[in-house]
Structure 1
Amino acid sequence: MEILRVVVTGTTGVGKTSFIRAVSEIDVASLERQPTNIDLQKQSMSTLDFGRLTFGDYQMLHLYGIPESPHLDFMWDILLRRAHACVVLVDAQRPRDFRSTRRILSNLSRRSKVPMIVGLTHADCPDAWTLANAELALGLKSDRYCSPLVIVNATQPESVLRSLLILTREMINVPA
């Protein structure tokens, strides 16, 4: 059986766990910890998620959710070493997180040459940035990053599957 490994990442609360739960055929395995930020005390934070999706008899997709955090650098190295692709999620209504997302994109491009897409979550919220403005703010139209930016609702399986199909196209088009 061929196993494709996809890393799903982004800032805290962007929808990494929801993204994986939306399509996983198994209960998502999550390692959680309580955040230290007072604003986030009411929710736990996943430090690693794992989900699986099987395609026919010969292909399986493993989804690994991990936040960008210095104390998890060792996990990044382990996951990216065997990853086939990456999804970077960014919240359209939290432009204050765009700088962190740019850092994640830069970190990924330094560590690995896997194909990736950027998923814009919460794009249907009142204060959300448009796709074009988010693309510009994230620097996705530069020579440095040529990853597509797609709108994704991390809680809707159809939306997550659509983004994974776009990611698959990126995997096929990336030169070896």
Structure 2
Amino acid sequence: MNTIRIVVTGSVGAGKTSLIRTISEIEVVDTDKRTTDEAAQIKANTTVALDFGRLTFAPNQAMHLYGTPGQLRFDFMWDILINKAHAYILLVNAHRPQDFRHGRRILNFMKQRVQIPMLIGLTHTDYADAWEMEDVAIALGLLHEASRPPLIAVNPTEQASVFQALIVLVEQLETTNNYQQTTIN
């Protein structure tokens, strides 16, 4: 079976675990624990190692989805998970500008380690105080529109929205030379 490995990353509360739970055909393997730091103001439990889900999308093809922890103290897991990934999604909470710097840090971390297709999924865009897509892109340091990865609105709890994000990512994979060489593992 050909397996495409996708990493879902972002800050605490961006929707990583929700996205994987929404789309996975298996019960998601997670490492959620009670939040004991400042993230407790956002959510009661947080991922401390990884989330794992699977989606079969053709008779002989599956997608493995790996969710990273959002907190910086678990960045060693980012390194482990991105190492063999074919692509990744950076989720950014559009109504929490205080998280944009952290999103930029994750983006830079990933870019230093891998040159693989990626997209930025803006979550919580339905909130009244959500930033516009262009403003979030600038806050993430993506100043040149021509060289930006795709930015799309994603609702991590809606299957159709998650499917659309994954379709965009797979289309990017299909246009890269590495795709054919790396999926047979």
Superposition TM-score, scaled by structure 1 size = 0.92
SS at 2:80's partner residue? helix
Match for residue 63 of structure 1? 65
Residue type at the aligned position of 1:147 = P
Q: CA RMSD in A?
A: 2.0
Match for residue 130 of structure 2? 128
User: Relative to structure 2, which stretch is displaced further, 93-102 or 127-136?
Assistant: 127-136
Mark the CA change 1:34 to 1:136 in structure 2 (over 3 Å): closer, same or farther.
same
- 8 Å CA contact retained: 1:68, 1:104: no
Q: Give the Cα–Cα distance (whole angstroms) in 2 for the partners of residues 73 and 128 of structure 1.
A: 27
Match for residue 8 of structure 1? 8
Match for residue 22 of structure 1? 22
Aligned residues: 176
Q: Give the Cα–Cα distance (whole angstroms) in 2 for the partners of residues 16 and 46 of structure 1.
A: 9
Unaligned runs of 5+ in 1: none
Give a deviation string over 1:33-59, Cα, whole Å, max 9, x none: 222225616611122110000012110
Q: Give the Cα–Cα distance (whole angstroms) in 1 for the partners of residues 37 and 152 of structure 2.
A: 30
Q: How far off its partner does 1:174 sit?
A: 3.3
Q: How does 1:66-81 map to 2 (within 5 A)?
A: 66-81=68-83
Mark the CA change 1:38 to 1:68 in structure 2 (over 3 Å): closer, same or farther.
closer
Match for residue 47 of structure 2? 46
User: Relative to structure 2, which stretch is displaced further, 87-96 or 74-83?
Assistant: 74-83
Match for residue 103 of structure 1? 105
Mark the CA change 1:70 to 1:96 in structure 2 (over 3 Å): closer, same or farther.
closer
SS at 1:67's partner residue? coil
Residue type at the aligned position of 1:67 = P
Mark the CA change 1:73 to 1:99 in structure 2 (over 3 Å): closer, same or farther.
closer
- 8 Å CA contact retained: 2:12, 2:39: no
Give a deviation string over 1:64-113, Cα, whole Å, max 9, x none: 00024444343323222211000000000001100010000000000111
Match for residue 37 of structure 2? 37
Unaligned runs of 5+ in 2: 179-185
SS at 2:142's partner residue? coil
Give identity over the alignment, percent.
Answer: 46
